[in-house]
Structure formats: C-alpha cells, structure tokens
C-alpha cells in the first residue's frame, strides 16, 4: 500500500466524494492513505450505471427496510469511524455495506496479536503495522460505491469538520469530551461506542434539532371507512373486516369519501382512538353530510428531538433500558465506565484480568466518582460485585459483544445520516455476565486469564485458557450460509470455535451467490457471484482465521439427505446453529435436534426486527413448540372479481403467471410423456379434471403458436378478455347503480366499482403487458422473442379483436361461500368427453416439449417481473386502485423478506453469547436469554426460555425430550411385534391400542383378526417394510414408533414415542 511522505502536509484531506474508482489520489496528506479512495465528486452515486439512481440489484433488500429517500440521504453523508479494533471494524463494515457517501477509518495504533480476537480484517503478518492502513483495502472491497480512506494521524477539528457523522471507539473520555463539545457546537452527529469484555456502552448526540421522518419504519396503515359522524368531535367508523390498528396521537388523511368531500386530501388530522374500529378526528360539524365510502390512511409526521452534548449528558443521563431484569444496571455502569477512564488515566492501563488488587483500586475510584456525581447521575451505593466484574473484564475483547454493539451502533449511524427511525436517547448499556460460570462468576482465576501469546488473548482475559481449549474442541453444524450464516461463521472463527484438534464447523447451503446477497452477506464479493455460498463462506473465514477447521457441504437438510446427516454425524455434534430462511427447514432441524438431544440456536430477522431462541435438551421447549399464526389469505372472490388493494391485484397477477406460463406447460408435458396422466386427472375431485384437460387443450391445440407474431396476437386477445370483456360482463351482471336486497349499494365498502380498459398502442403500460406476455408465451414454446417494442406494435396492427357482447345467465360468485361451492361442483361428463375427444393422441407430439417457467423475481431480463407489474397495474387501473412501482411490486409479489446488515450482526452476536453459555456448561434456565430486538424503535426484550412442558402417565413425568428406548435386536435376533407389545404391557403396564411409523399404521385394535395375527408373528422391521411398501434404508439405525396406549384402568394415556434400535 502506497503512502505519502510525512513532510507534505500535517492535515488529512476532506473525505472523498462518492464516485467509482478511476485512479489513485496521490496527494492526501500526512499519515493519510488513499489507495481505495477516489477522485472527489460532488455527486451522490449508488448506481450501477453512473446515474443518481440507487443500484436496486445490490441494495434491494435494504431498500425495503430504509426506502429510497433515506438511502439517498445516506448517500450524501461522509462518516468517520475512529478506532479499528474489533468494535470499530464491525461498525465500519455495516456502514460500508449500508451505502453512505464515504467512510474514513482512523487509528493511530499498530496491530497487536490480541487484536485478532475480533478484528476480522487483520492477520498475523499485519502485526506492527497501522491498524487503519492495513484494514482500508479489505474494507473497501465490501462495496465499490463507498470510497474508504484510512487516516493514521491525530483527529483535528479541521478533519472532523468534513464529516456529517463521527463515531469514536477505543477512545479516552478526555478526547470524547473534547470532540463531543466541538461536534455539538457544529451540528455534527456524534456516536461514542465502547465494549469491555462482556460489557458495552453507546452514546448518541445528534444535535439540538434532529428531525426524525419516520420513527418506526412500519408501512402506513390504510382502512376502509363505514361512516363519519358530523359532530364537534367527529367519529370515524371503519369496516369491521379488521381492527384499524391506529394509536391515539397518530395522524391520518382521507380519500375517496363521498358526501363529506372536504376531508379528501385535507391536511393530516390527529386522532384519538375510541375502540378497535372507531376513532375521533376533531370538529366535522361544518362539513357536508357523509354519504358513503372512503379510505383513511396513516401519515408519518416528522418529529424533532433535542440531544444534550456528551458533557451535559454525563451529568444528566437518559438511559435506554436493554434488559428490564437489570433495571438498575445502566446507572451503575454509567459510573463504572467513567471510573475505567479515570483508572487508565491514573495507571496507564486498565485493571488486569482477574486481579483483585486492581479491582479494589477500581472500586475506590468508582466510589469517588459517584460521590462527586451530580444528583441525576449519582447512585445510592456502588454495586461492588458488578464493579469487580467490570474490572476483571476491562481488557477483554469478545467477538460476540463487538457484533452486538457494532450492529446497534451502525444502525445509529444510518439514523444520523437519514433521519429514518428513532435514535437511542442517549445512553445504552448492556452486559452479558450470564456467559460466566453461573454458580461462581469469579471462579476464573487470574492465572487462567493470563495472556497465552494467542490470537484469542482478548477472549481468554474474560473466560480463561481452559474455556478457550473447550471452545476449540467443539463440533458445530451451521445450517445455511446466507446473511445470518456468514455472520455466524465469521464470529465462530474469531471466537476459535472448532479451531483445536478434534473441533470442527460443518456448514451446508445448496444455493449460489447472487448480486443482491452482497449487501448483507459480507463474506461474498462481486467476483464470487454464481459461486457456491457454503464453499465461498468457508474459504473466506479460513482467511480470517487459518486455524479454523471448517467443512463445506452443498446439501439441503431434509429426509432425502438423512444418509449424509445420519446418526453418527449428529451424535458427534455439540450443537446446531440454524441460519435458515424458511419455517419448514427450521422445523425439520428442530425435530432432528430434539431426536438427537442436541442444543439448537435459532434466529431470524425481518428488516430491523430480529429474534433469538435457544433450545436446550431436557430443559427448554423446542422451536416447534410454538408457531406463528398462519398468513392471512385473500378470499377467492376478492381476487377474481372484487379487489380493493394493490396486494390483491399483485396476487392475481402471480396467479395469472402460474396459470399461463407454468401449469399449462407442465400439464401438456405430462399429457405427452406420462401414460397414466389421463387416468390420474380423471380421478381428481370437482371441476379439476375439466380445468386440467382444458388447460392441456389450450396449450397443445387452441393457443399453440407457430411464430412470435402468434404470441403477440394471443397476448393482445388475452388483454381484451382480462381487462375489458370480463369487466364488461361483471358490470352487466352488477351495474354501477345495483343495490342489494337490503337496499344498500352493491358497489360499496370493500367492493370497488370497476371500469373496462380500451387497448391503446400508444399507452406504454398496454405495450409493456403485450411485450412481456408475448415473450413469456414464446419462451414456453421455445420460440425466439424480441425486446423491440416497435416490432410488437407493428405486429399488433394485423390483430383483429372481435367485439364483445355481455351474455345473460353468466354466474359470478360474490361471496367466498359461492366461490368455494363453484369449485366443488362436478364436471359435466358430456363436456369432459368432448374435450378428451378433441385432444390429439400424445404420439402426435413426439419430440415436442414445452418449457414451464418458474417465477424468478431477481432476473430483470426474463420478463417475469415485467409481466407481474403490468398485469397488476392494469387490473389496479380497472378498479381505480393506486398502482405500485416495480420495486414495491417485487416486494409483495416476490414475498421478499426485507433485510439489513445491522440487524443480522446484532442477532448473530446474541446467538454467540448464548453459545458461550452452552460451552461454559451453564444449566440454569435463568442463565439463558431468548431475545427480541427492533433497532428502529429501538427496543430490546429478553426473557428466559420457556421450560419444556411436562406430561404425566401414572406417576412418571416426561417432556418432549424423553422417549422409550428399546433395543430391538439381541443376540442377532430381532423381536416380533407381539414381543414388542408384551414388553410395554409387562414393563410399563401400557396396553398398545395403536402403533404407527411415519404415516404407516403398524397395528390397531380395530384391525381384522387375521391381519393382527399375521403381523404379531412378524419382526417389527418386517411389519414396517410390509405396511410402508418401502425397504428400510441401510443408513437407518433406528425407527421412530408412535404409540396410543391405555393404562390399567382402560383410559387413554399420552406417552413418549419409541426409539426402536434395529442393531446391537
């Protein structure tokens, strides 16, 4: 890395502006490197094409968290992060991934071996070099849109003045106060962050007039209106389909109200909630009478927050509580951290790990500071036990804590840049002392904590060398190498998990890297796109810590890979860490961990929200013990005929995609290639046989194109059917002035009166639809398409569209019950026979195959999202629903989970704290913490895991972790089913009434006597194979058998399952 001679200048240049790298800037000044800085430019640039547009391919998941406006404000912010040890690099990493204008990293110190405890961009060969300079190039690789500059000289006011946000880590209180005073006077946002072993601290000062544009980040809530009263305190009643979910103090606007039109598009009104469906909006007495309809929408109102300076806030602190079980802890730690600074000032270094004499000196200083403290900060007495722990931890460097505090701090940086979300006001303190031995936290001796000339010395200072050895010998299975998986693997490598002889980390992920992953899956770089995630992640952490023993797999976890992840694999593990993105896989791994009695660390994120659950054998409930409520589905009749929200039209468009471009192709291929397809289809219930065969006939006969022009013609006709003819038929059945039997307007409430669209070749959206639909149709038949809009418009001129006349007698379902009944009716046999007869023999299609299209939201070249956006927005236009842009459409139709690197960092840090407790051998439920966080609010909630519920038969208690374990084979002879049943009768006084294995019923009391007699004489494994019609696979060592039993009184009793061991 090149540097500039020190005699050129004594100041660092201003932070470079955001522009893609073109050349090295060789004139940056003393002690300031710029190999990864760029030519200054006044323009904000987060785009892939050099425009001011944000690169949605890279930032897509984060954009769904922050929004375009907040991202643009971040793109105008220069950020300084001082201190490049573990905490500083974690903050800088998250900020660079987030996408600010520039990041300057500062550190005047040199790399020491102990820094490698948590600074993942440092290596042994860097020892003795400046921390910021060696970090610069590696940090810059994370995001090509964010220039990174290193500064190794002092922090001067001139330098600080160039930044919008300044973050101080690893700094003295004296410099914090000096810089804090300057920043407060100049309107520069200041964040101070510090960790000391298992303790941490954050302080925020964003100035006296900081404006927050959106405190929660939640989507504004809209509701349909049933009525509005005309009164001094007007009351709005919402339709009773769902609660309005507003809170008193919210602001709302109105639209589409008939009658009381003055409310439409008026200034936002403050509300007072009266009930789940009602709220008041102030005086409506002078407005017109309400007639009907209307939509009320929540409005996010800006809030101005006044921050005190660091100096003022030290004396009068405001605390954010992170753990309500430790309500008095922040005040104590506020004094304790000040005492640490004073101790270091007096003694030149922090208290030595585990040294009682140093701890006593430290406590004396803490008491002295407390005595002099102003009333608002003064504690009634100093908690000497807590202060001893802080002294013992003072030189500690725990990677998990850096991850937690680095994530939280980086989110505060983003808030400071963007005004999005509520900042910390103003102090946050947190500790994880539960990671220490639960019976005697001070049992780790001073000798145990002594440096070992090891990269783990920062961790050894907290937990001791014996614990480090135990950590290194662990075998862990990480399931998933996405955002959470990458952070976990990095943390595990830094901690030294599985880094000793006999230790190992196994990671599996079957996916390849995509561009959108790079924004938060930080082990991957642009040149890794299309490579396998697990292998790339394993190689990346191996560079961070060459001592890590890691094996990468590319297998999906599930029944199909139980020959790989078999008994011997699971039995060798010490635990499992899930990093999965779907509930089914999580529940499968949960069942495996319960079966093998292995600890499971479960976590997940949703935007700024995250959760951590710890599952401990024989102690806690499992992940599957509680489930989220199912997603609310959209009624069929709403989708088909009565949409009232963009979510409805997008789901309709997704169904259209499946029904046009996937299912007909699949059915057509099965008709051609599967001789049993027809028999199987005719056995389907209700209208399904007719619908399936009509789909085949359309695909292979009626709508089979020969050229791309045929596809254009099909798309044009289909447009006419969907957006004009069907709407005309609907309005024929139910005219705009239709009333119900009760006299109420039919088109009211959730039913929006539609209007047909007339095709216009000059309307961009109409051509978008035809272009996308025609290309997708062509793809399913292997025909070459085109992106040439003019060619499509020219082809449309030859298309003749017949005039449509609505028909009488057409049945349109208006309720969910009617829609369900219509689907359950039986197909007309005569019509079914006609369709069958009209289908050519499969032999006539020999060699022909269609290509079913699987929806892929992230490929902008495949026309999938083009079709969804156009189809949805045209239907929205039919029903006068506000349209959605491509970005929002992709979120809803693609069911994308919003994600941001900061939340991932915090969640994985919390996971690693729980892992440390497990390795420590802590057994008490109260030592562990399930966590829920929301960084937007910010909110931190921790609770003890729920104990595994106990069930009883006779006087024997059991939980989900218990089972009957039965050796099925003795002396080479397997027991019969009769012997199995006799065993439970004689040994446990349980009469088996039913016995099953998987979905196979092995025995039941109501079986015919002859069948019972036959099965009782057979070996258990033989009965299982006979009933399931499947051979037991060679890797299967045991069978899981479920019992229904009666006790001696003849009453049903719930009992554990049976693990039936097949081999001795």
Give 289's DSSP letter: P
**Cα–Cα distance measured from residue 733 to residue 725, given in angstroms and rounded to the nearest whole number:** 12
Interhelix angle 708-720/764-780, nearest 10 degrees: 130
Of residues 919, 797, 907, 897, the one with CA closest to residue 473: 919
- Strands 991-997, 1000-1004: pairing is antiparallel
Of residues 402, 395, 410, 472, the one with CA closest to residue 432: 402
My answer on whether omega of the bond before 253 falls inside 30° of 0, hence cis, is: no
Helices (H) and strands (E) in the chain, counts: 34, 36
427 with 330: CB under 8 angstroms?
yes
Give 264's DSSP letter: B
Element spanning 1053, H or E: strand 1052-1053
Active-site residue flag, 711: no
Phi and psi dihedrals of 508, rounded to 5? -130, 140
Q: How far is CA 98 from CA 70, 95, 142, 165, 994, in A?
A: 11, 5, 10, 14, 57
> Alpha helices of 85-172 — where are they, by DSSP H?
86-98, 131-140, 157-160
- Strands 210-212, 222-228: pairing is unpaired
Of residues 134, 172, 98, the one with CA closest to residue 409: 98
SS3 14: coil
985 with 1030: CB under 8 angstroms?
no
In angstroms, how far is CA 535 from the centroid of its own chain?
A: 22
For residue 238, how many other CB atoms are within 10 A of its CB? Answer: 24
- Strands 295-299, 303-305: pairing is unpaired
SS3 936: coil
Read off the tokens for 827. 């197909």
Length of the chain: 1064
For residue 193, how many other CB atoms are within 10 A of its CB? Answer: 29
Output b/e per residue, 624-636; b: 16+ Cβ within 10 A: beeeeeeeeeeeb
**Cα–Cα distance measured from residue 447 to residue 459, given in angstroms and rounded to the nearest whole number:** 14
On the 0-12 / 13-18 / 19+ scale of CB atoms within 10 A, 648 is buried
552 with 538: CB under 8 angstroms?
yes
Q: How far is CA 310 from CA 87, 94, 179, 206, 442, in A?
A: 20, 24, 9, 11, 33
- Residue tagged active-site, from 637, 711, 912, 1045: 637
**Cα–Cα distance measured from residue 529 to residue 515, given in angstroms and rounded to the nearest whole number:** 6
907 with 612: CB under 8 angstroms?
yes
413 with 190: CB under 8 angstroms?
no
Residues in CB range of 323: below 8 A, 6 or more apart: 329, 430, 929, 940, 942
End-to-end CA distance of the chain: 63
Three-class secondary structure assignment of 440-483: CHHHCCCCCCCCCCCCCHHHHHHHCHHHHHHHHCCEEEEECCCH
SS3 697: helix
Residues in CB range of 303: below 8 A, 6 or more apart: 211, 212, 215
SS3 847: coil
Catalytic machinery residues: 637
């Amino acid at each position: 890395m090149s540097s500039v001679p020190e005699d050129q200048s004594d100041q660092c240049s201003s932070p470079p502006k955001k522009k893609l790298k073109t050349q090295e800037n060789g004139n940056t000044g003393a002690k300031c490197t710029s190999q990864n800085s760029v030519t200054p430019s006044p323009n904000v640039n987060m785009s892939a094409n050099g425009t001011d547009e944000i690169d949605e391919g890279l930032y897509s998941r984060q954009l769904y968290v922050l929004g375009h406006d907040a991202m643009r404000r971040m793109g105008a912010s220069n950020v300084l992060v001082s201190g490049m040890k573990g905490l500083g690099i974690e903050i800088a990493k998250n900020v660079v991934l987030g996408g600010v204008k520039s990041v300057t990293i500062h550190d005047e110190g040199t790399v020491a071996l102990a820094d490698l405890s948590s600074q993942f961009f440092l290596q042994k060969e860097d020892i003795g070099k400046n921390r910021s300079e060696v970090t610069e190039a590696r940090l810059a690789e994370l995001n090509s849109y964010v220039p990174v500059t290193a500064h190794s000289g002092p922090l001067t006011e001139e330098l600080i003045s160039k930044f919008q946000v300044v973050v101080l880590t690893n700094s003295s209180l004296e410099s914090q106060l000096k810089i804090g005073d300057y920043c407060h006077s100049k309107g520069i946002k200041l964040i101070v962050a510090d960790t000391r072993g298992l303790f941490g601290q954050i302080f925020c000062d964003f100035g006296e007039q900081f404006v927050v544009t959106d405190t929660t980040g939640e989507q504004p809530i809209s509701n349909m209106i049933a009525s509005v009263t005309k009164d001094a305190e007007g009351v709005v009643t919402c339709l009773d389909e769902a609660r309005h979910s507003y809170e008193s103090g919210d602001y709302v606007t109105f639209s589409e109200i008939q009658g009381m039109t003055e409310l439409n598009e008026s200034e936002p009104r403050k509300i007072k909630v009266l009930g789940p469906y009602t709220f008041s909006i102030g005086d409506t007495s002078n407005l017109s009478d309400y007639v009907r309809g209307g939509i009320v929408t929540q409005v996010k109102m800006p809030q101005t927050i006044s921050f005190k300076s660091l100096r003022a806030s030290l004396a009068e602190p405001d605390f954010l509580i992170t753990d309500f079980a430790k309500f008095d802890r922040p005040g104590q730690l506020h004094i304790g951290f000040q005492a640490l600074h004073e101790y270091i000032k007096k003694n030149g270094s922090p208290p030595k790990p585990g040294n009682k004499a140093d701890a006593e000196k430290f406590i004396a200083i803490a008491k002295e500071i407390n005595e002099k403290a102003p009333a608002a900060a003064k504690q009634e007495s100093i908690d000497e036990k807590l202060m001893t722990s802080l002294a013992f931890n003072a030189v500690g460097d725990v990677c998990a804590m850096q991850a937690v505090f680095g994530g939280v701090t980086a989110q505060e940086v983003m808030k400071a840049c963007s005004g999005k979300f509520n900042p910390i006001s103003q102090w946050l303190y947190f500790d994880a002392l539960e990671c220490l031995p639960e019976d005697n936290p001070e049992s780790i001796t001073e000798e145990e904590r002594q440096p070992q000339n090891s990269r783990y010395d920062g961790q050894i200072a907290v937990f001791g060398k014996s614990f480090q050895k135990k950590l290194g010998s662990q075998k862990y299975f990480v399931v998933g190498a996405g955002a959470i998986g990458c952070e976990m693997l990095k943390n595990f490598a830094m901690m030294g998990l599985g880094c000793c002889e006999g230790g190992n980390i196994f990671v599996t992920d079957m996916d390849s890297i995509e561009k959108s992953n790079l924004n938060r899956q930080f082990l991957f770089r642009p040149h890794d796109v299309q490579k396998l995630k697990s292998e790339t992640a394993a190689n990346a952490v191996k560079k961070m810590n060459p001592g890590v023993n890691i094996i990468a797999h590319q297998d999906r976890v599930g029944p199909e890979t139980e020959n790989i992840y078999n008994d011997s694999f699971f039995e060798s593990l010490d635990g499992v860490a899930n990093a999965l993105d779907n509930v089914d896989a999580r529940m499968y791994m949960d069942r495996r961990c319960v079966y093998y009695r292995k600890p499971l660390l479960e976590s997940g994120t949703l935007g700024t929200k995250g959760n951590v659950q710890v599952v401990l054998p024989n102690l806690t409930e499992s992940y599957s013990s509680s489930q989220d409520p199912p997603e609310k589905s959209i009624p069929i009749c709403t989708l088909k005929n009565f949409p009232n929200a963009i979510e409805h039209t997008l789901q309709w468009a997704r169904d259209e995609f499946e029904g046009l471009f996937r299912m007909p192709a699949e059915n057509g291929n099965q008709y051609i290639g599967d001789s049993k397809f027809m028999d199987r289809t005719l056995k389907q219930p209700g209208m399904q046989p007719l619908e399936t065969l009509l789909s085949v006939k359309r695909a292979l006969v009626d709508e089979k194109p020969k050229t791309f022009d045929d596809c254009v013609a099909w798309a044009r006709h289909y447009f006419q059917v969907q957006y004009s003819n069907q709407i005309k038929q609907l309005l024929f059945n139910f005219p705009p002035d239709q009333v119900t039997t009760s006299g109420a307007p039919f088109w009211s409430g959730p039913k929006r009166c539609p209007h047909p669209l007339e095709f216009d070749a000059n309307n961009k959206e109409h051509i978008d639809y035809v272009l996308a639909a025609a290309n997708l149709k062509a793809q399913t038949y292997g025909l070459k398409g085109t992106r040439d809009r003019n060619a499509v418009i020219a082809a449309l001129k030859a298309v003749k569209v017949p005039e449509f006349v609505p028909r009488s007698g057409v049945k349109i379902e208006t309720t969910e019950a009617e829609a369900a009944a219509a689907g359950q009716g039986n197909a007309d046999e005569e019509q079914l026979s006609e369709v069958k007869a009209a289908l050519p023999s499969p032999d006539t299609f020999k060699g022909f195959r269609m290509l079913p299209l699987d929806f892929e939201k992230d490929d902008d070249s495949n026309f999938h999202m083009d079709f969804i956006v156009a189809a949805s927005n045209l239907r929205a236009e039919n029903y006068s629903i506000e349209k959605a842009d491509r970005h929002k459409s992709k979120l809803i139709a693609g069911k994308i989970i919003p994600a941001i690197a900061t939340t991932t960092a915090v969640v994985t840090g919390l996971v690693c704290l729980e892992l440390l407790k497990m390795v420590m051998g802590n057994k008490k439920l109260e030592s562990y913490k399930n966590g829920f966080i929301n960084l937007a609010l910010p909110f931190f909630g921790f609770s003890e895991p729920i104990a595994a519920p106990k069930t009883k038969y006779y006087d024997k208690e059991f939980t989900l972790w218990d089972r009957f374990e039965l050796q099925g084979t003795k002396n080479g002879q397997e027991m019969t089913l009769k012997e199995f049943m006799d065993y439970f009768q004689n040994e446990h006084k349980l009469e088996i009434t039913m016995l099953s294995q998987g979905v196979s019923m092995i025995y039941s009391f109501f079986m015919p006597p002859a069948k019972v007699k036959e099965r009782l004489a057979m070996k258990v494994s033989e009965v299982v194979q006979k009933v399931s019609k499947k051979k037991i696979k060679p890797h299967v060592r045991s069978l899981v058998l479920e019992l229904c039993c009666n006790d001696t009184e003849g009453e049903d009793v719930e009992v554990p399952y049976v693990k039936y061991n097949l081999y001795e």
